[in-house]
């Protein structure tokens, strides 16, 4: 069955208005299941961790289920490999401090110019503290894809860490993640993947990737503001965590500093349950093949959901590409070949000749179309493309609750603005 946008949209109360939400790369709208989970938590079991009484025990059950749900979403080996935090940035800053304890002056780490700054600056700060060199992997400015030859040469120097993104939050490029992880591990290099931008768009399998660490954020996949870190259990267990003395000594508790955002974790569980519904409703035709590959239960439903979403979003990407390239004076950044849509998510960045990006975003807002402008914290991207000093770019990002009709409306508005 193909995905039915009208049925999907019925699960998002915020969409019951005339606005068009193309601001999704900065945060999606929340699914009803996630919001209801948060409300039920606050009304029924709002309590701190580890008590002998009913609400605390029920709360702990919800938090355990949230860890299990995210383990299913990422296909982690066990729930203890899931760590929650305020957001991806905070989790990365936290882990960078622990990982860098083993670095020595003269060591090297790798970051890329295609990344969000949250997967650059935490590592650069840790490197500065330890006297470690930071090497940058460049990207091709024509199609915004990583230079893999340059990456391989850098990996041959056996750096301590490679931090890179699953997909670019600025220009939509999907990196060849499996290939990069294999390249890094062949040289004994640890890998830290920022999957924040990719998580709402397709399936993630950390076991198949073989990555050491991967981070994402629930507010990018239809949940509340909460960050999620996957780490291989042996690494999370052996690394020293900066924590208070009463905190647990084993994962994930040793990494979850202080009292967590309990209602937020309940919301993460609700977001996963929404995606499970998507898989159950629209993904039946994939079921037999996935069962043969070992997927069962919620992991099967989630794999079906994300595969279905990915297929539907191919059509959104194709429509966005055709719509944007038809606008006079519009320059698109990133992959623009319709034969390569499998190498991008439906996040598109552009500039309109003679118009400041903020001016375009404001004009679209007056038409009821919500988009971002600027650098979206992908400062290295806008600097490399030489657009940072002139306002960055306009960014349009679709997810599976967007429609072809909304893309047509965007095209009409941009045609009007370009004139």
Q: What is the CATH number of the domain that holds 181?
A: 3.40.640.10
- The CATH number linked to 373 is 3.90.1150.10
Cβ-Cβ contacts under 8 Å for 386 (sequence gap 6 or more): none
**DSSP reduced 3-state for 326:** coil
Cβ-Cβ contacts under 8 Å for 287 (sequence gap 6 or more): 300, 304
Instruction: Give pTM, 2 decimals.
Output: 0.97
* Residue 314 and residue 240 share a domain: no
**DSSP reduced 3-state for 344:** strand
Q: Compute CA 349 distance to the chain's CA centroid, rounded to the nearest angstrom.
A: 17
289, part of any domain: no
User: Distance between terminal CA atoms of the chain?
Assistant: 41
* Residue 240 and residue 312 share a domain: no
Q: 335, 305, 315: which is closest to 407 by C-alpha?
A: 315
pLDDT band of 388, cuts 50, 70, 90: very high
Q: Provide mean pLDDT across the span 60-70.
A: 98
268, part of any domain: yes
**DSSP reduced 3-state for 22:** coil
Write out the two tokens for 333: 């950044």
Domain count, the chain: 2
Question: Contact, 65 vs 258, CB < 8 A?
Answer: no
pLDDT band of 289, cuts 50, 70, 90: confident
* Residue 315 and residue 265 share a domain: no
282, part of any domain: no
pLDDT at residue 287, as a whole number: 83
Q: Using CA atoms, how far apart are residues 217 and 195, in angstroms rounded to an integer?
A: 8
* Residue 187 and residue 115 share a domain: yes
Q: 76, 50, 97, 418: which is closest to 260 by C-alpha?
A: 50
Give strand ranges (E) for 13-127.
20-21, 82-85, 108-112
Q: Using CA atoms, how far apart are residues 9 and 400, in angstroms rounded to an integer?
A: 9
286, part of any domain: no
- Backbone torsions φ then ψ of 241, nearest 5 degrees: -105, 140
294, part of any domain: no
pLDDT at residue 372, as a whole number: 98
* Residue 56 and residue 119 share a domain: yes
pLDDT at residue 283, as a whole number: 87
Range of the domain at 200: 34-272
């Amino acid at each position: 069955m193909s995905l039915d946008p009208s049925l999907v949209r019925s699960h998002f109360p915020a969409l019951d208005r005339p606005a068009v939400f193309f601001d999704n790369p900065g945060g999606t709208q929340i699914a009803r299941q996630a919001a209801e989970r948060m409300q039920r938590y606050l009304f029924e079991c709002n309590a701190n961790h580890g008590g002998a009484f009913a609400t605390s025990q029920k709360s702990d059950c919800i938090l355990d289920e949230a860890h299990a749900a995210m383990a299913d979403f990422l296909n982690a080996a066990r729930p203890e490999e899931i760590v929650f935090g305020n957001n991806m940035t905070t989790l990365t800053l936290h882990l960078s401090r622990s990982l860098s304890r083993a670095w020595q002056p003269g060591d090297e780490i790798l970051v890329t110019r295609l990344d969000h700054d949250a997967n650059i600056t935490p590592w650069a700060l840790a490197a500065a503290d330890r006297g470690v060199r930071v090497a940058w992997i460049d990207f091709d400015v024509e199609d915004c894809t990583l230079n893999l030859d340059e990456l391989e040469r850098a990996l041959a120097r056996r750096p301590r860490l490679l931090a890179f993104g699953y997909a670019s939050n600025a220009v939509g490029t999907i990196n060849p993640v499996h290939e990069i992880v294999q390249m890094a591990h062949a040289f004994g290099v640890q890998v830290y993947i920022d999957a924040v931008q990719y998580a709402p768009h397709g399936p993630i399998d950390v076991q198949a990737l073989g990555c050491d660490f991967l981070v994402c954020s629930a507010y990018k996949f239809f949940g509340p503001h909460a960050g999620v870190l996957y780490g291989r259990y042996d690494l999370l267990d052996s690394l020293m965590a900066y924590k208070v003395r009463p905190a647990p000594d084993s994962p994930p508790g040793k990494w979850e500093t202080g009292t967590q955002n309990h209602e937020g974790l309940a919301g993460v569980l609700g977001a996963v349950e929404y995606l499970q519904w998507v898989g159950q409703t629209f993904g039946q035709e994939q079921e037999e093949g996935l069962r043969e590959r070992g997927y069962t239960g919620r992991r099967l439903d989630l794999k079906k959901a994300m595969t279905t979403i990915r297929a539907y979003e191919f059509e959104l990407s194709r429509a966005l590409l055709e719509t944007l390239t038809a606008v006079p004076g519009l320059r698109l950044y990133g992959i623009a070949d319709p034969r390569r849509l499998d190498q991008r998510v439906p996040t598109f960045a552009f500039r309109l000749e003679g118009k400041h990006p903020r001016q375009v975003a404001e004009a679209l807002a007056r038409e009821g179309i919500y988009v971002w402008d600027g650098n979206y914290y992908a400062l290295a991207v806008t600097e490399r493309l030489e657009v940072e000093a002139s306002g960055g770019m306009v960014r349009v990002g679709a997810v599976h609750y967007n429609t072809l009709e909304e893309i047509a409306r965007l095209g009409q508005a941009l045609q009007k603005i370009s004139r």
